[in-house]
Structure 1
Amino acid sequence: MVSKSQRPADLAREHGLSAQAVRNYESDGVLPAAPRTASGYRVYTPDHAAALRAFLALIPAYGHGPARTIMRAVVRGDTDAALRAVDEGHALLLRDRETLDQVEIAIAVLGEITPQKRITLQIGELAHRLGVTPATLRTWERAGILTPQRDRSHQRIFAEDDIRDAQLAHLLRRGGYRLDHIATVTAQIRAAGGAGLLKDSVIAWRERLTARGRAMLTAAARVEDYLSRPPQVPSPRRP
């Protein structure tokens, strides 16, 4: 099938890109290699336009790095490698959804935790308060759940936020949650500056995950459109 040839600027215009960006994408392997005219000009076809649409749709769905991995595999005909990268992206989205679910549970659990006065505890004191062993607290620290400071004698000192995280970990562990999941939750709480601020960001967080999921659907349609196109032979012209 013969198709009308296109210039880099023709492909770029649809997406508000520069012609050089299109040439860079070709050099990067996310677009098929373009044949050249006798005078050295690149000749693009609707296949290249479909590949560019697919790649640009993959970016908001999977991120720049995975999008390059997926589209390079598609272009070189390694569909299995492309789909494996797609599967990894979906698995990551699922893990993010599970983490968000756990954060929402954690916020509810934190509502049951009595705020601590301005106190600090040593490891034995905190272990006694929770009814666990010091070894358990050290395990939680190694997992990234707890981040206590050290005093001059290198003894662990647990401040209010540390005590809160330990109480949360204790409750979530009793609920069957894994250490790596709990570590993710406590890291999110620390990064947000507390459960109250984290609660305010949960709605926006879920909206971002929904947007990623929908972007994946759009990207899948664009990639399928590229894969299902019949081979095209350009009719060379000088731009």
Structure 2
Amino acid sequence: MRRESRLQLRTVDVARESGYSVQQVRDLERLGVIPPALRATNGYRAYTAHHVQALRAYRGLASAAGPVVARRLLAELFAGAALAAQRDEPTTSLAEAAARIGAVHVRLARERDEALRAREALRAIQGEARSDADADEAAGGTMTITELADALGVRTSTLRFWEQEGLAVPERVTTLRARRYGTGAIREARIVAALRGSGYGLPAVRDVVATLRSDAGDGIVEGIDAAERILGRRLDQIAARSVALLRAGADLAAVLEVDPRS
């Protein structure tokens, strides 16, 4: 990191510019999330504009990957940069930061792909639900728990857990107590698998399944539409997190290129 002189800022100035409170600024400095401040002749902390950028980088990273990941990532980067400076060694902070930020981008891209695949699956189910052939299928076809698990790419224990939670409840063959899933339960299981595979928790999935079973109106179509809206919000959230990560990367690069203690 090259050394440059910067206008000194008070803690209250940094708080105002970054959107954090004075105490939060001090806490994040103590945790190593931002580089340590210099001390002015009067003993007070002396920050620079790059501390503000470091806090903005933290905000973006926290939005994209969560505060725990953001705190650990920044603390490790700044600690490594400080150690390299003490030893008068070349710093690898920028390269490491690029790699770490890139890994978060990869995770977000994976989440987006999962949500898109789930949405495609829902639309396929929706097409089946609205087709005339669907009524004929409802007259007969069933699947065993093993067949359904294979079709969905999940374990049979997962289907049993969904059953315990009131999701995708099968019919039972009374003589053997074997689980058999009718068309409605199969459809529910496919929707549950799509939402769970995209990272949604049980409460949101229960709401969708409840709509599927609704007596008011076309519960099937309404339930699938509700699931699509959930996935739409998920995709919007992933897009917002990706934008926050792009901004965080730019702020972090600016901080790592300059030593704020100069």
| 2:225 maps to 1:196 | yes
Give SS of 2:6's match. strand
Cα distance, 1:162 vs structure 2: 3.1
- TM-score for both structures, normalised by structure 1: 0.70
Are the counterparts in 2 of residues 7 and 44 from structure 1 also a CA contact under 8 Å?
Answer: yes
1:211 to 234, 240, 243: 240
Alignment of 1:177-192 (within 5 A): 184=197, 190-192=205-207
- 1:8 maps to 11
CA distance in structure 1 between the aligned counterparts of 2:199 and 2:29, rounded to whole angstroms: 43
Instruction: Say what the alpha-carbon RMSD is for the aligned residues.
Output: 3.8
Instruction: Tell me which moved more, 63-72 or 33-42.
Output: 33-42
CA distance in structure 2 between the aligned counterparts of 1:2 and 1:187, rounded to whole angstroms: 48
Cα distance, 1:207 vs structure 2: 2.1
CA distance in structure 2 between the aligned counterparts of 1:3 and 1:186, rounded to whole angstroms: 44
- 1:164 maps to 187
Cα distance, 1:96 vs structure 2: 1.3
- In structure 1, stretches of 5+ residues that fail to align are 120-125, 170-179, 235-239
CA distance in structure 2 between the aligned counterparts of 1:185 and 1:29, rounded to whole angstroms: 33
- 2:39 maps to 36
CA distance in structure 1 between the aligned counterparts of 2:28 and 2:36, rounded to whole angstroms: 10
Alignment of 1:116-195 (within 5 A): 129-130=142-143, 135-137=146-148, 140-142=154-156, 144=158, 147-149=162-164, 156=179, 158=181, 162-165=185-188, 168=190, 184=197, 190-193=205-208, 194-195=223-224
Letter in 1 for 2:242: G
Give SS of 1:3's match. coil
Cα distance, 1:27 vs structure 2: 0.6
CA distance in structure 2 between the aligned counterparts of 1:190 and 1:37, rounded to whole angstroms: 55
CA distance in structure 1 between the aligned counterparts of 2:254 and 2:233, rounded to whole angstroms: 32
The ranges of structure 1 where at least 4 consecutive aligned residues each deviate by more than 4 angstroms after the TM superposition are 115-119, 149-155, 157-161, 180-183, 185-189
Cα distance, 1:48 vs structure 2: 1.9
| 2:103 maps to 1:88 | yes
2:50 to 30, 47, 52: 47
- 1:172 maps to none
- In structure 2, stretches of 5+ residues that fail to align are 82-91, 165-169, 209-222
Alpha-carbon spacing, 1:43–1:221, altered in 2? closer, same or farther (3 Å): same
Cα distance, 1:141 vs structure 2: 3.8
- 1:97 maps to 112
- 2:257 maps to 228
Alpha-carbon spacing, 1:186–1:72, altered in 2? closer, same or farther (3 Å): closer
Letter in 2 for 1:163: I
Letter in 1 for 2:121: A
CA distance in structure 2 between the aligned counterparts of 1:62 and 1:53, rounded to whole angstroms: 14
Cα distance, 1:67 vs structure 2: 1.6
| 2:28 maps to 1:25 | yes
Give SS of 2:33's match. coil
- 2:217 maps to none
